[in-house]
Amino acid sequence: MDSHSKVIGYVLWIFGFMGAHRFYYGRPISGTLYFFTLGLFFIGWIVDLFLIPSMDRAADLRFIPGPTDYNVAWVLLTFLGVFGIHRFYLGKWLTGLIYLLTGGLFLLGIIYDYWTLNTQISEVNSRLGR
């Protein structure tokens, strides 16, 4: 079963010189590297155009699918993260409210969520699947 989407991967790839698609597919180290080097000086970003299908397959095998949708959570984090909307979606009301009032906990929470969102969703799906 698919946990991630190639379409969302390519949409995030458009912003990939900032590492968005790498974080989405569960590769936070290279996502951070892309963020600080503009997609490895745009070369890695272009190469990733061809690597997205394999990153998608690896993410589908690694993360637990379920009722909480990875694609929705990642779109919410990427475009509305400073408001904590993705946290509300995950059922984390307290931290969602904190993010809403503090701009994503002064952006540090957003960075944390870029590193850990896939794991957070897998944990929610694992709990809901029992």
Which stretch of DSSP H or E encloses residue 94? Answer: helix 93-106
Is the pTM higher than 0.75? The answer reads yes
Separation CA 99–CA 18 (nearest Å)? 22
DSSP 14-76: HTGGGTHHHHHTT-HHHHHHHHHHHHHHTHHHHHHHHHHHHHHHHHHHHS--SSS-HHHHHHH
Domain spans, the chain: 6-62, 70-129
Helix (H, G, I), strand (E, B) or coil at 5: coil
Q: What is the pLDDT of residues 60-77, one digit of tens each?
A: 999 999 999 999 999 999
89-93, 95-99, 103-107, 117-121: range with lowest mean pLDDT? 103-107
